[in-house]
Amino acid sequence: MWLFALPALSINVVIILIPALLTIALAFCQWDGFSMPVFVGLANFNAVFADRVFWIALGNNIKWTLIFLTVPIAIGLFAATLLLIIKRGRTLFQIVYFMPVVVATAITARVWQGMIYNPNTGVFGLLQRFGIELADPLAHTETALYGIAAVDLWHWWGFLAVIFLAALRQVPQEMVEAARLDGAGFFGLMRHILIPAIAPTIKLMMVMTVIWSFLVFDFVYILTQGGPAYSSEVLSTLAYRNAFFEFDLGRAAAVALVIALFGLTATFAYVRLQAREGAN
């Protein structure tokens, strides 16, 4: 029976596991991608930790995580609850909310860049001509990261709304009706009945949010390439630049290990959370 699983497993091992193990080894070597790697101990980590940009990137990933743990999850829960209580049009709303999810990140990025943020061709430019001072967020160091996050938010909240709605529909209708008869308002219903009932789904999405927040790459790379002045750099774009522009593979590997560390921590936290809930 192993033969059935072997093709999938061996492709995965060759493409992911072996290179991942090599990345761990590389983090302790100096390598330009072509010559022989040289063992350098912790030098890469020392260089990474001494780099100002690394700390900016790490800080940005943490900000990103905090934004995505709150804003889209709140919007998604709110929209899903509204969708749960309406009688007509649910499918239509769902389809439209999900549309941004299926659009390629590169296209979403360019649409926002040109049609919304752009001071000449975008909605921001139009508003400026009406006297509303809205600068292109991507062009300024204080706002670049948030400008990118807004794009990802647009692309993302509909996914969560649809996932949460699927979970909410599993909540027994009697529970909802009973709460309404008891006089629970909309937010009371959300807080006391619906959110506790789908807590496992919300927790899973939060863990995935932490993992995904440290993987974010496309939007940053396409919209600002980490700029201006590294203000929107994240760990994944930093590692990519280290590897393919500076050919410092050891440093890129060290940064990659930091990214993986956060994902691992989130996964372990989730598994422990599950175990504790199972015990209670």
Within residues 213-252, the interface with other proteins by CB under 8 A covers 214-215, 217-218, 221-222, 235-236, 239-240, 243-244, 249, 252
Q: Which range touches other proteins (CB under 8 A), out of 44-52, 57-65, 66-74, 77-85?
A: 77-85
User: Contact between 267 and other proteins (CB under 8 A)?
Assistant: yes
Return the residues of window 11-50 that contact other proteins according to CB under 8 A.
11-12, 14-20, 22-23, 26, 33-34
Choose which of 183, 275, 278, 280 interacts with other proteins (CB under 8 A).
183
Question: Binding-site residue total for other proteins (CB under 8 A)?
Answer: 99
Q: What are phi and psi of 133, to 5 degrees?
A: -75, 100
Structure tokens at 195: 């959110």
Q: Do residues 39 and 29 lie in contact, with contact meaning Cβ atoms separated by under 8 Å? A: yes
User: Contact between 195 and other proteins (CB under 8 A)?
Assistant: no
Q: Measured from the CB of residue 1, what is the shortest distance to other proteins in angstroms?
A: 4
Burial class (CB in 10 A: 0-12, 13-18, 19+), 129: exposed
User: Contact between 95 and other proteins (CB under 8 A)?
Assistant: yes
Q: Which residues contact 280 (CB under 8 A, 6 or more apart)?
A: none
Q: Measured from the CB of residue 46, what is the shortest distance to other proteins in angstroms?
A: 19
Q: Which residues contact 103 (CB under 8 A, 6 or more apart)?
A: 155
Residues in the chain: 280
Choose which of 123, 178, 199, 229 interacts with other proteins (CB under 8 A).
123
- Rounded-to-integer distance, Cα 166 and Cα 164, Å: 5
User: Contact between 146 and other proteins (CB under 8 A)?
Assistant: no
